[in-house]
């Protein structure tokens, strides 16, 4: 073989080697590219935030599962939609693009975005320019702020409630102190009036005046007693008992005192429920709530419903009634179909000395006392009302046990007797 042919052969082999090298390298690059694409898709679908890649023109080239989920578009719809239509105000995308152009990236761009169903949610956008599939694109990550906003609102509500509670405690402490001192003064007034009365002849006009003064002093004493009850200075004689029995007794008394144009209904769905409480306090709660219901129905007649049921307080109830702990409760509801409570005062109805009744008809202490009693028993009271749709007051008493669970050692004697009789009958 001539030298020329040898050189030609050598070159041919070199070219063939280079061609094969090219095949090996492109095959290798293809595998790497495929692996990187898979990695990107796995990462984007694993991260718990919506993200998408779009062109500046608005065409969406890529979106992850969370983006699809949050906006509610099908894969086909998402590929067709223009990015600007994902904004509540499509002009916001222009501002977003301008920010990106000026700063090279966007961080925490607050905006309202729109879902497929038209609903709007607050979001914060984070974006950077990237090259994707050979084109200059924007990679945008969406931080949904809906939950944060809700949390913020919940926090503000709790703060308001805390401030209200602190205010009530301060009022309670002050009122309790005044009532205590006032009681001492009343004791002297009672003593001196009674002494004066004893020293006068029975037919004396002055005796009548003194009797009037004593009656007024008694009213004052009753009022201080209520204030002290609100301040929880009174010790309650707590014992486990069937709340249904006490509610039924109180219902009888309330029904007998109610005018005929107001119907009082009783529904007991928690016959065996046992709570730890002072039964007289249950009477007081029912009397105070029914007295308000009477007042609401005074000129129009209507229905008062008293309902007793066992309920479980979960996270939802805790949000509505922060004072409530999770657990089982007996809920006593007093509902009327009166005019309801105006929205602007519904938050204040449990405040002491707050009343909508005309001067001289109410002390404004009834609902405060109800709340004080419930708080003292580890429960809570809440109100549901809308103007024109009546009002319902719910009293939540912690459930101690049901009849079947109650042992004789903790059961009061009368309850044990009743239980035995029921068992024999059953």
Partner 1 sequence: MNIKEERYSIVYENNVIKISGKLSIMPEGYERIESFFKEIVGSGPAELVLDIRNLEYLNSSGIKALCIGLILEVETKEGLWLNIRCSKQHRWQLETVPTFKDLIENLNIVFE
Q: What does the binding site for partner 1 look like in residue numbers (CB under 8 A)? A: 10, 13-14, 17-18, 20-21, 23-25, 27-29, 31-32
Q: How far, in Å, CA of 364 to CA of 291, rounded? A: 12
Q: How far, in Å, CA of 385 to CA of 390, rounded? A: 6
Determine the longest span between alpha carbons in the chain, in angstroms: 161
Query: In this structure, what is the dihedral angle of CA atoms 251, 253, 257, 261, given to the nearest 10 degrees?
Result: 30
Instruction: In angstroms, give the least distance from the CB of 27 to partner 1.
Output: 7
Q: How far, in Å, CA of 200 to CA of 207, rounded? A: 7
Instruction: In angstroms, give the least distance from the CB of 8 to partner 1.
Output: 15
Residue number with CB closer to partner 1 (17 or 177): 17
Q: How far, in Å, CA of 125 to CA of 103, rounded? A: 14
Distances (CA, A) of 421 to 126, 246, 409: 72, 18, 18
Residue number with CB closer to partner 1 (20 or 37): 20
Instruction: In angstroms, give the least distance from the CB of 33 to partner 1.
Output: 10
Instruction: In angstroms, give the least distance from the CB of 10 to partner 1.
Output: 8
Q: How far, in Å, CA of 197 to CA of 194, rounded? A: 5
Residue number with CB closer to partner 1 (21 or 146): 21
Residue number with CB closer to partner 1 (13 or 300): 13
Instruction: In angstroms, give the least distance from the CB of 81 to partner 1.
Output: 37
Residue number with CB closer to partner 1 (36 or 319): 36
Q: How far apart are the first and last CA of the chain?
A: 120
Residue number with CB closer to partner 1 (32 or 157): 32
- What is residue 277's three-state secondary structure? strand
What lies within 8 Å, CB to CB, of 343 at 6+ separation is 386, 387
Q: How far, in Å, CA of 157 to CA of 147, rounded? A: 15
- What is residue 107's three-state secondary structure? strand
Residue number with CB closer to partner 1 (14 or 98): 14
Instruction: In angstroms, give the least distance from the CB of 4 to partner 1.
Output: 18
Q: Are 258 and 264 in contact (CB under 8 A)?
A: yes
Q: Are 231 and 373 in contact (CB under 8 A)?
A: no
Residue number with CB closer to partner 1 (34 or 318): 34
Instruction: In angstroms, give the least distance from the CB of 134 to partner 1.
Output: 18
H or E stretch including 417? helix 413-425
**E strands present in 252-345:** 262-268, 273-277, 302-313, 327-336
Alpha helices in 134-278 (DSSP H): 146-198, 205-230, 243-257
Instruction: In angstroms, give the least distance from the CB of 34 to partner 1.
Output: 11
Q: How far, in Å, CA of 178 to CA of 37, rounded? A: 77
Residue number with CB closer to partner 1 (28 or 353): 28
Instruction: In angstroms, give the least distance from the CB of 25 to partner 1.
Output: 5
């Amino acid at each position: 073989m001539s030298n020329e042919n040898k050189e030609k052969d050598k070159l041919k082999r070199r070219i063939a080697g280079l061609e094969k090298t090219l095949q090996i390298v492109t095959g290798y690059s293809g595998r790497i590219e495929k692996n990187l694409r898979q990695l990107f898709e796995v990462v984007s679908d694993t991260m718990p935030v919506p993200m998408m890649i779009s062109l500046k023109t608005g065409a969406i080239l890529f979106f992850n599962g969370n983006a699809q989920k949050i906006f509610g578009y099908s894969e086909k719809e998402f590929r067709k939609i223009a990015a600007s239509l994902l904004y509540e105000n499509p002009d916001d995308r222009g501002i977003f693009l301008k920010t990106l152009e000026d700063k090279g990236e966007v961080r925490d761009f607050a905006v309202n975005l729109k879902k497929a169903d038209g609903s709007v949610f607050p979001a914060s956008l984070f974006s950077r320019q990237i090259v994707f599939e050979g084109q200059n694109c924007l990679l945008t990550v969406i931080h949904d702020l809906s939950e944060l906003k809700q949390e913020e609102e919940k926090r503000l509500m709790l703060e308001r409630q805390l401030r209200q509670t602190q205010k009530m405690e301060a009022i309670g402490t002050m009122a309790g102190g005044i009532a205590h001192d006032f009681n001492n003064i009343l004791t002297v007034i009672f003593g001196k009036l009674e002494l004066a009365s004893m020293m006068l002849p029975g037919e004396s006009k002055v005796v009548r005046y003194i009797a009037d003064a004593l009656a007024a002093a008694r009213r004052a004493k009753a009022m201080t007693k209520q204030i002290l009850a609100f301040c929880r200075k009174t010790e309650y004689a707590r014992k486990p008992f069937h709340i249904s029995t006490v509610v039924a007794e109180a219902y009888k008394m309330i029904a007998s005192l109610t005018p005929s144009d107001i119907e009082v209904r009783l529904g007991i769905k928690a016959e065996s429920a046992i709570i730890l409480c002072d039964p007289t306090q249950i009477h007081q709660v029912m009397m105070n709530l029914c007295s308000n219901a009477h007042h609401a129905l005074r000129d129009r007649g209507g229905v008062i419903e008293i309902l007793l049921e066992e309920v479980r307080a979960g996270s939802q109830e805790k949000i509505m009634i922060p004072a409530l702990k999770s657990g089982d409760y007996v809920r006593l509801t007093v509902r009327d179909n009166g005019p309801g409570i105006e929205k602007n005062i519904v938050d204040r109805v449990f405040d002491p000395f707050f009343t909508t009744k005309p001067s001289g008809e109410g002390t404004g202490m009834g609902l405060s006392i109800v709340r004080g009693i419930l708080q003292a028993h580890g429960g809570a009271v809440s109100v549901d009302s809308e103007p024109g749709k009546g009002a319902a007051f719910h009293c939540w008493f912690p459930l101690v046990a049901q009849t079947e669970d109650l042992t004789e050692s903790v059961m009061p004697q009368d309850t044990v007797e009743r239980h035995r009789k029921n068992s024999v009958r059953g």
